Each structure stands twice: as C-alpha cells, then as structure tokens.
C-alpha cells in the first residue's frame, strides 16, 4: 500500500519521457534533490529553470544548478544531451544562434545576465570561453594575446597613455608574458612571440587560446571539450592547467571523457538524453555512488 502512495507522490514531481531514448536508458523519474548540490559560500553562477529550444527541438529542459566559485565543475553526458547548449547559455553565446529560444535565469554574482541591459562585451570578458578545436587568429602569438586587452582598453594607447608616460608596448609585453605563463606556454614560445600562431602544435594552440582567454582577466572560464582534439600528452597538460586555473578562476568544463571528469573536477553534473540535468554532486559521489540508476548505467558504460 505504501508503494502506491509513493507512486502517486513522485508522479507529481518533474517527470521524464525516457521511453523514447535513443541510447538505451532505463526509465526513471527525475528527482529534484538529485540536482541540489550544497556547498559553502554564494554561487558564482546560479541557473534557474533554464529551457532552450532550437525551433521545435527542446534541447534543454528546466535545468537549475548553482556553480561554486574557484573550482572545476564538469558537465558530462552522451552526445546531443545539451552540454554545449548549457555552456553557451552561461555567457549568452546562444544569442548568436537565430533559431535558439532561451527561457529562464542565469545569475552571475547575483546579477541576471539575461537582463536586456546586460553589456554582452563586458559579460564575455568576465565569462570567457575555450572551444573544442583550437581557434587561434591567423596572427602572431603576441597579437593573439593582446587582441582582447586592446579591444577592452586594458592596454592604454593614444594621447592619454603618452601623457601618463605609459608605453603601450611595455603593457602589452606584460600582459602577453603573464597570460602565456598562466597557460603554461611561455617557456615554449617566449623566443618566437612574433611567429604566426598557426605554426604551433595543436596542444600549444589550445594553450594559446586559454592564454588569450586569460589575457582579459575573466572570472569564469567555460571550456567545451577542450582536449578532445589533442593527443594524450597535450591532453594531460591541459588537464593539469585546468586544475591550476581553478585556484583563481571558476572553471566549467564539458567533457565526454568520464575519466577526465573524475580526474580534474570538484563537482560533476550529469546531463542525459532529452536535455535534462539528472544528477549534480561532488565528483566522488557521482562516480562512486550516484543516486540515479540512469547515471549509474551511463557511468558504468551501459549506454552513451
């Protein structure tokens, strides 16, 4: 009898249509408490009831999650479950996709980023992004780094700088060196800063893209499968770097590599088919003792 009551009660919670999953997931009701991750301090990012549609395709469903600062949050899940879509919502990159319709709330330090008055240039300076395939500009290593700071006015140029006795070349050199050191690339490129960035190896190009992101002093760094195009040695360098960056920055990283998520992240969010956030908790808890059967099946390789 108690079974019947439980059935009725849970039926009123958010439900999922997992019957038509393409990847062999078992059926299961979502439970809100599985995604309520508790941590000390205010969230750096707070996402509430986020929904994204591409035309009629409902790609992200009612996702709510709080992301703590100065740590690594991993987003995992099978291909097509909405990880990149979610990540792009965090600095309004989806705004650039015409057919995307976004509803819900994302707060950065308590301020709504979807407020119509949000300055998108400023937002994307605070919340930077690194993509799957390294995408340096076809310019020198130095110019790749200084492009952002120049655009944002962090490198003083013109009359005012001259009046203040500042030489923008010195400022540029400082930012270039600082950023490349932070991205663990300085030693490898310090003697060829004026060479074209496209001459670097894939792993170096990706660290350059991370340096370019760091050059504008972001607070949050979003990374979408940043190592998936790299060989194991380059991958391990990026993984070390991500862990180091989390001492000063809030890092949110999408990966389809579960070992990678387990190695580098403090907390892990699991998205499954249909654009649902199913479980979000300490990385150890997710990998050792998840609440959701579907998450357990995914982690143990039963589907995905």
Ligand X SMILES: Nc1ncnc2c1ncn2[C@@H]1O[C@H](COP(=O)(O)OP(=O)(O)O)[C@@H](O)[C@H]1O
List residues binding ligand X (CB under 6 A).
54, 57, 59, 77, 79-85, 97, 99
- Least distance (Å) from ligand X to the CB of residue 302? 18
> Which range binds Mg ion by CB under 5 A, 81-89, 104-112, 284-292, 296-304?
81-89
Instruction: State how far the Cα of 39 lies from the Cα of 101, in Å rounded to an integer.
Output: 31
Number of residues counted as binding Mg ion (CB under 5 A) = 1
- Is 94 a binding residue for Mg ion by CB under 5 A? The answer is no
Which is nearer to Mg ion, 69 or 224 (by Cβ)?
A: 224
Which is nearer to ligand X, 80 or 236 (by Cβ)?
A: 80
SS3 label, residue 13: coil
Which is nearer to ligand X, 118 or 228 (by Cβ)?
A: 228
- Is 84 a binding residue for Mg ion by CB under 5 A? The answer is yes
- Is 144 a binding residue for Mg ion by CB under 5 A? The answer is no
Which is nearer to ligand X, 215 or 227 (by Cβ)?
A: 227
User: Residue 123 burial (CB < 10 Å; 0-12/13-18/19+)?
Assistant: middle
Phi, psi values for residue 127, rounded to 5° = -120, 90
- Least distance (Å) from Mg ion to the CB of residue 79? 7
The string of DSSP codes covering 16-35 is --GGG-SS-PPP----GGGG
Torsion-angle region of 100 (φ positive above 0: left; ψ -120 to 50: alpha; else: beta): beta
The answer to whether the CB of 257 falls within 8 A of the CB of 232 is: no
- Is 91 a binding residue for Mg ion by CB under 5 A? The answer is no
- Is 85 a binding residue for Mg ion by CB under 5 A? The answer is no
- Is 255 a binding residue for Mg ion by CB under 5 A? The answer is no
- Least distance (Å) from ligand X to the CB of residue 304? 11
Three-state helix/strand/coil letters over 105-138: EEEECCEECCCCCCCHHHHHHHEEEECCCCCCCC
Which is nearer to Mg ion, 84 or 267 (by Cβ)?
A: 84
User: Residue 51 burial (CB < 10 Å; 0-12/13-18/19+)?
Assistant: middle
Choose from Mg ion, ligand X, none: what does 179 bind? Cβ within 5-8 Å by kind.
Answer: none
> Which range binds Mg ion by CB under 5 A, 79-87, 212-220, 234-242, 259-267?
79-87
Which is nearer to ligand X, 97 or 120 (by Cβ)?
A: 97
Choose from Mg ion, ligand X, none: what does 85 bind? Cβ within 5-8 Å by kind.
Answer: ligand X
Give me the residues paired with residue 280 across strands. 269
Q: Give Dmax (Cα) for the chain.
A: 83
Tell me the residue number closest to Mg ion, measured at CB.
Answer: 84
């Amino acid at each position: 009898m108690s079974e019947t009551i439980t059935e009725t009660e849970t039926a009123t919670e958010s439900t999922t249509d997992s019957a038509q999953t393409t990847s062999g997931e078992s059926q299961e009701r979502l439970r809100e408490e599985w995604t309520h991750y508790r941590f000390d301090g205010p969230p750096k990012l707070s996402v509430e009831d986020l929904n994204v549609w591409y035309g009629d395709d409902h790609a992200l469903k009612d996702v709510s999650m709080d992301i703590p600062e100065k740590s690594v949050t991993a987003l995992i899940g099978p291909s097509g479950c909405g990880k990149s879509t979610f990540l792009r919502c965090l600095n309004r990159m989806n705004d650039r996709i015409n057919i995307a319709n976004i509803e819900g709330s994302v707060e950065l330090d308590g301020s709504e980023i979807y407020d119509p008055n949000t300055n998108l240039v400023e937002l994307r300076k605070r919340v930077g992004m690194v993509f799957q395939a390294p995408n340096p500009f076809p310019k020198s290593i130095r110019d790749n780094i200084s492009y952002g700071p120049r655009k944002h006015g962090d490198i003083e140029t013109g009359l005012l700088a001259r009046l203040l006795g500042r030489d923008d070349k010195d400022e540029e050199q400082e930012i270039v060196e600082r950023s490349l050191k932070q991205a663990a690339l300085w030693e490898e490129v310090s003697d060829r800063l004026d060479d074209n960035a496209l001459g670097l190896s894939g792993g170096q190009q990706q660290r350059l893209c991370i340096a370019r992101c760091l050059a504008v002093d972001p607070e949050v760094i979003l990374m979408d499968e940043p190592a998936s195009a790299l060989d194991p040695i380059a991958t391990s360098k990026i993984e070390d770097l991500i862990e180091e960056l989390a001492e000063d920055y809030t890092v949110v990283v999408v990966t389809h590599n579960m070992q990678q998520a387990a190695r580098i992240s403090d907390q892990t969010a699991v998205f499954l088919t249909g654009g649902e956030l199913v479980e979000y908790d300490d990385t150890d808890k997710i990998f050792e003792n998840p609440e959701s059967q579907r998450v357990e099946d995914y982690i143990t390789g039963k589907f995905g």
